[in-house]
């Protein structure tokens, strides 16, 4: 614990360093924190309040929606639309971006979010999370699609909340990464993991091995070399992890290093990857880079990609710097 600093105290301290700060950003983070506490409550009650299982619908990605996908989307939308701090929002569960109903004031930020990442894990009681990405709204406060389709490098803040054994918020505003743990007794996120840094080297990789036959050659080469361990060119043994919940994988990498890959594969040429640029890759890329790691498609830095649509998918390779650089070098040497 770091002297019992609450998320709010931490934000106010940061706000004091920005001369022109009006306090809107601090309020927005409070809105997000409160919404995520409400989501944590739903997730932790599970079957006691009948929130598990399918909602009987599909989302814009053609995926079966869980009841909790719908409930958490509604919690986020209501909290943000009524907050007065945002001019628009976009959810992974909704095809178009949402504006602010006439009865509420508009604010100077745009928020994009995945309300419940890893929700296929919900029924088996595994860790899931909410991911968010914050951009500045246009001066007019009347956002168009183009105002959302901005490069990841333009994010002013990114974070995720992890609903695991402990509820945690991981946050960056471009000045490093800090982690907060929800104190259930007092209902506050407390600064428990200041200035998180990802170790540069690692001996742990995460990838869905069942897709192996669909991978490109550089990914096959990297994973083959890890699997060969101390009998191969790497000269050391590797460990493999696959939780199938990106929030949990990224948190593990922030904690002890590692590499996470959901690469391009040839199964469906219309899908350049599984993960979404705006709701997963960009916010996680910002966090990982701010913690000293890298986030790449294998061929390009994720945060420099110009988005073309809200639900665009991308290959994602992120984690410890030296390992991501190695994968990139395998792509380069392939030409
Ligand atoms: O995009 C949702 C997600 O659940 C991620 O959190 C996770 O990394 C990935 O999908 C798991 O995919 P798969 O089921 O193919 O292993």
Domain ranges within the chain, ordered by starting residue: 7-193, 204-334
> Which residues are bridge partners to 295 per DSSP?
318
Class of domain 7-193: alpha beta
Number of C-beta neighbours around residue 125 at 10 A = 11
- The CATH classification of domain 204-334, taken from the options 3.40.190.80, 1.10.10.10, 3.40.605.10, 3.10.20.30: 3.40.190.80
Number of C-beta neighbours around residue 248 at 10 A = 22
Residue nearest to atom 13 of ligand 1 (CA): 244
Backbone angles phi, psi at 153, to 5 degrees: -70, -15
Tokens of 208: 């869905």
Q: Which atom number of ligand 1 is nearest to the Cα of residue 208?
A: 16
Q: Which atom number of ligand 1 is nearest to the Cα of residue 119?
A: 4
Residue 335 is predicted with a pLDDT of 65
232 C-alpha vs ligand 1 centroid, how far in Å? Answer: 29
Tokens of 216: 């490109």
Phi-psi label, residue 29: left if phi above 0, alpha if psi -120 to 50, beta otherwise = alpha
Residue 275 CB–ligand 1 contact under 6 Å: yes
If one residue of 115, 119, 120 were mutated to test the ligand 1 pocket, choosing by the most ligand atoms within 8 A of its CB, it would be 120
Q: Which atom number of ligand 1 is nearest to the Cα of residue 242?
A: 16
pTM here?
A: 0.95
Residue 268 is predicted with a pLDDT of 84
Q: How far apart are CA 22 and CA 38, in angstroms?
A: 26
96 C-alpha vs ligand 1 centroid, how far in Å? Answer: 22
Residue 130 is predicted with a pLDDT of 98
Residue nearest to atom 12 of ligand 1 (CA): 244
Q: Describe the strand order of the beta sheet including 316-319 as a list of residue ranges.
A: 239-240, 204-206, 259-262, 316-319, 294-296
CB 238 within 8 Å of CB 204? yes
* Parts of the chain with a pLDDT under 50: 1-2
Q: In sequence order, what are the residues at sequence separation of 6 or more whose Cβ sits closer than 8 angstroms to the Cβ of residue 11?
A: 25, 26, 29, 30
Q: Which atom number of ligand 1 is nearest to the Cα of residue 249?
A: 8
Q: How far apart are CA 52 and CA 69, in angstroms?
A: 10
If one residue of 117, 123, 253, 263 were mutated to test the ligand 1 pocket, choosing by the most ligand atoms within 8 A of its CB, it would be 117
Tokens of 204: 């742990």
Q: Which atom number of ligand 1 is nearest to the Cα of residue 248?
A: 6
Residue 50 is predicted with a pLDDT of 78
pLDDT in tens, 132-142: 999 999 999 99
Task: Tell me which H or E stretch contains 50.
Answer: none
């Amino acid at each position: 614990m770091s002297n019992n600093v609450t998320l709010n105290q931490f934000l106010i301290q940061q706000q004091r360093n920005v001369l022109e700060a009006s306090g809107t950003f601090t309020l927005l983070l409070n809105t997000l924190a409160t919404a995520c506490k409400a989501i944590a409550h739903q997730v932790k009650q599970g079957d006691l309040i009948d929130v598990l299982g399918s909602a009987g619908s599909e989302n814009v990605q053609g995926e079966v929606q869980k009841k909790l996908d719908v409930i958490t989307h509604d919690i986020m939308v209501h909290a943000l639309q009524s907050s007065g701090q945002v001019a628009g929002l976009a959810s992974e569960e909704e095809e178009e971006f949402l504006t602010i109903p006439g009865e509420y004031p508009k604010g100077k930020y745009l928020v994009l979010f995945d309300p419940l990442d890893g929700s296929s894990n919900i029924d088996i009681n595994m860790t899931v999370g909410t991911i968010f990405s914050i951009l500045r709204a246009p001066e007019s406060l009347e956002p168009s699609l183009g105002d959302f389709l901005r490069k990841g490098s333009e994010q002013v803040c990114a974070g995720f909340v992890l609903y695991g054994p402990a509820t945690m918020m991981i946050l960056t505003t471009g000045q490093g990464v800090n982690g907060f743990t929800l104190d259930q007794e007092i209902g506050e996120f407390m600064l428990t993991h200041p200035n998180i840094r990802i170790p540069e080297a690692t001996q742990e990789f995460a990838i869905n091995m069942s897709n192996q036959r669909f991978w490109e050659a550089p990914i096959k080469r990297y994973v083959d070399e890890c699997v060969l361990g101390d009998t191969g060119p790497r000269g050391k043994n590797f460990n493999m992890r696959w939780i199938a919940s990106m929030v949990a994988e990224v948190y593990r990498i922030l904690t002890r290093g590692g590499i996470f890959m959901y690469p391009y594969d040839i199964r469906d040429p219309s899908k350049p990857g599984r993960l979404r640029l705006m709701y997963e890759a960009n916010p996680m890329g910002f966090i990982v880079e701010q913690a000293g790691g890298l986030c790449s498609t294998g061929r390009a830095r994720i945060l420099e990609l110009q988005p073309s649509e809200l639900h665009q998918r991308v290959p994602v390779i992120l984690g410890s710097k030296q390992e991501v650089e190695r994968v990139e070098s395998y792509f380069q040497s392939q030409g």
